[in-house]
Structures are given as C-alpha cells and as structure tokens.
C-alpha cells in the first residue's frame, strides 16, 4: 500500500506540472451547506494512508449523509501541508481546511459512475435513501496550490445522496497509475456503501 502511495505522489507531481487540473472555487462542503443549510464531517475510520468520512447536513439532531468519501492520501505529506493535514486528520473538512490555509483546490476527474445504496449508506442517510437507490459516484485527484507550490494531496472517491448535486469537475485524466489509485479508492467506497456495484464506467 505505501509503495503504491509513494508512486502515486510521484505521478501526481508530474501530472500537475505538465497539465493544470481544474480549479474548483465552490467546494462540496459549500454546496451541501448552501442546499441543506448546514454541513459537518464525521470520520468513520482512518489510517495514516486513508480516511472514510460522512459529509452530512443536519435534520434536527439527525446527521443525513450527503457525501460518503473515501480518501487515499499522498504520502509522505508535503511539508507545506503538514499543519493542514493534521487538522484534516483530526476531523476537518479537506477542501475547507486547505482553503482556510490559503491553498487553492484543483481536481482531476478519474472515474465517474453509478452504484446502488446498500444498508450502510441507507443507515447513514437516516433512511432518506431507499435500499437499491441509484447513487452517482466519482473519483478525482486533488491538488493544493499556493504561489509556486503545486502539491498533490489525495485521490478521493465519493458517493452522493440523490438529493445532492456536487460541484462539477470534468477535466479527465486516464494516466494508468492514477486510474489504479482511483480503482482502489472506488473499491473501498463500494465496500463501505454496503452494495456491490452493477456498473462502473471510466470518465470519457
């Protein structure tokens, strides 16, 4: 796993220096808060290399999952991101934490596909999504920029509540090592959702 992640860091560094990723001024957290009136992060599990998080809005005291996110961090963490990464590992929102540290967020789309809600996802949405409901999912590489720094940070797979429309990022990369990382993250996402995917189509 660590060998894969170190190679991923090298590939992402080459990619960001050779082809700009799409800048995304509106973050997923912004979109959730705007649409549903609140936003929070619940870390379900994490290791040094990965994190699974429930990005939710509140309905009374209930946390309604709007995005289930599986993150594979690029290790070792760049020195410029150490403090932001510490806050993220402590439960902070990835995009909002990096933005608060004055980084600009860039994304490259790796996969967009669909899966279906299983028991875990239904539970995280407090039953607001039916078992077997279609879920839009995507995987992207995330970079942080500040001045002359263009830093690869993570590959993230996300599944979305049917009522939630995440910000678009449609610039696509089919670089093989990125696709391998994307497949790992997507597989972990499917396992967390609790439902075997019926179809999975790379972005075009």
Q: How is the chain split into domains, by residue range?
A: 2-193
Residues 156-181 have pLDDT tens digits of 999 999 999 998 866 888 878 788 89
Does CATH number 3.40.1410.10 belong to domain 2-193? Answer: yes
DSSP state of 163: T
Residue ranges of the chain with per-residue pLDDT less than 50: 3, 14, 18, 199-200, 204
Q: What is the pLDDT of residue 196?
A: 56
Predicted TM-score of the model (pTM): 0.86
- In this prediction, residue 40 carries a pLDDT of 98
- Residue 199's pLDDT is 46
Phi, psi of 197 (to 5 degrees): -65, 145
Is 154:74 a contact under the CB 8 Å cutoff? yes
């Amino acid at each position: 796993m660590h060998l894969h992640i170190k190679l991923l860091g090298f590939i992402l560094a080459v990619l960001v220096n050779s082809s700009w990723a799409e800048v995304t001024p509106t973050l997923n957290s912004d979109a959730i808060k705007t649409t549903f009136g609140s936003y929070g992060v619940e870390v379900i599990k994490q290791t040094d290399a990965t994190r699974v998080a429930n990005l939710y809005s509140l309905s009374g005291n209930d946390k309604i999952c709007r995005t289930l996110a599986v993150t594979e961090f690029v290790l070792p963490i760049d020195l410029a991101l150490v403090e932001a990464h510490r806050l993220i590992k402590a439960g902070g929102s990835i995009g909002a934490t990096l933005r608060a540290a004055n980084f600009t967020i860039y994304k490259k789309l790796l996969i967009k596909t669909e899966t279906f809600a299983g028991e875990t996802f239904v539970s995280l949405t407090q039953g607001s999504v039916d078992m077997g409901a279609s879920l839009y999912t995507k995987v992207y590489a995330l970079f942080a920029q500040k001045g002359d720094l263009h830093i690869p940070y993570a590959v993230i797979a996300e599944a979305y509540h049917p009522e939630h429309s995440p910000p678009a990022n449609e610039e696509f990369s089919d670089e093989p090592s990125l696709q391998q990382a994307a497949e790992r993250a997507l597989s972990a996402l499917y396992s967390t959702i609790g439902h075997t995917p019926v179809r999975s189509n790379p972005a075009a």
